[in-house]
Amino acid sequence: MVIGRPLRKHKLDGTPYFRREKVETEIQAIAGMSAAELERRADLWQVSAPGYVSSETLLYVVRNAAPGAHREKLTEKLLLRVARRVPSVANADGKTVSMTRMNIREAVRDNFVDLLLSDRNQYDDRLDYYEVNFNGAVAADRRDANDRHWKHENRTAELETEDGEVSVQVESAVGYSTPFDSDELDKKNYRLFLDEAIESLPELQRRIVVMWRQDIPIESNDPSVESISKVVGKSEKTVRTHRDKAFASLKLRLERKGMR
């Protein structure tokens, strides 16, 4: 009987991880299947659908397939299954999108992609649990992302008064320091570190900094002019405070890298 190569991860008690018997049977069954047929079956996402291939088996194939178009197609189909395990980004009204839910969705996907890329470079046993219980592993990632991003949104909400303005105490405690010094930006390493630091900012701060860098005004009396406050749905005062907090964070990160 042909089975998938053994998993390397061990439980806390020292016993190795094992795939479910059903998954091992599936791996054997698809061994001689054509690439086109496997790709067709990978599109099926309902367990009851004839020919359905489990996510655990699909992950096994992706981890062990040769580089090329076939592997990339299966990878995209696997990522769609990850997305199906994460709640919708829509708000309760069904008309608007929750930035926090979007961040959660992206965090779960990005974590899985990072694991796949790490595994392709050198066997990463963190993916073994996904081959044992794919849905359970994604659910754990979702819980982690939920805790992280909702806590951040709650902290952000605490900074604002009932009318959406940032409290005077917070505003007065934030210093203004721009990291976009023209002389520094001429240095390639500085630009690379700055771009990386911007990407690591909380989502609201990142969006504000990106738009500010593109010379989009914070506020405008002209209704035809796009402004940062209009795009992010915050008051001018709130935008300026989050901008200053972002600049302070960027400055600190750059100093730690020896860039300032």
pLDDT in tens, 198-249: 888 888 888 998 888 888 899 988 888 889 998 888 888 889 888 888 888 7
The verdict on residue 57 lying in a domain is yes
Same domain? For 153 and 243 the reply is no
pLDDT value for 196: 82
Same domain, 181 and 243: yes
In the chain, how many domains are there? 2
Are 38 and 143 contained in the same domain? Answer: yes
Angle at 104 between CA 160 and CA 132, to 5 degrees: 150
The pLDDT-based confidence of 100 (bands split at 50, 70, 90) is confident
pTM of the predicted protein model: 0.59
Considering the domain boundaries, does residue 1 fall inside one? no
CA-based nearest residue to 134, from 107, 106, 115, 117: 115
Q: Residues in the chain, how many? A: 260
248 assigned to some structural domain:
yes
- 7: in domain: no
Considering the domain architecture, whether residues 175 and 58 belong to the same structural domain is answered as no
One domain, residues 153 and 195 = no
Please report, for the domain that includes residue 206, its CATH number.
Answer: 1.10.10
- Indicate whether 184 pLDDT > 60: yes
Q: Which one of 158, 184, 205 terminates a domain? A: 158
Q: Which domain holds residue 191?
A: 168-256
* Residue 137 domain flag: yes
Q: Cite the DSSP H helix spans in the chain.
A: 21-29, 35-42, 55-64, 69-84, 99-121, 128-132, 134-158, 168-173, 182-185, 188-199, 203-213, 228-232, 236-256
Mind listing the pLDDT tens digit for each residue in 47-90? 999 999 999 999 999 999 999 999 999 999 999 999 998 877 77
**The domain boundary residue, chosen from 134, 158, 182:** 158
The DSSP-derived string for 156-207 is HHHTB-TTSPBPHHHHHHPPP--S--HHHHTSHHHHHHHHHHHHTS-HHHHH
Q: Are residues 41 and 112 in the same domain?
A: yes
* Residues 102 and 145 both lie in one domain: yes
Instruction: Among 158, 190, 219, give the residue marking a domain's end.
Output: 158
Instruction: Between 135 and 246, name the one with better pLDDT.
Output: 135
* Residue 163 falls inside a structural domain: no
81 and 201 together in one domain:
no
**185 and 152 in one domain?**
no
Gap between the Cα atoms of 81 and 72, Å rounded: 14
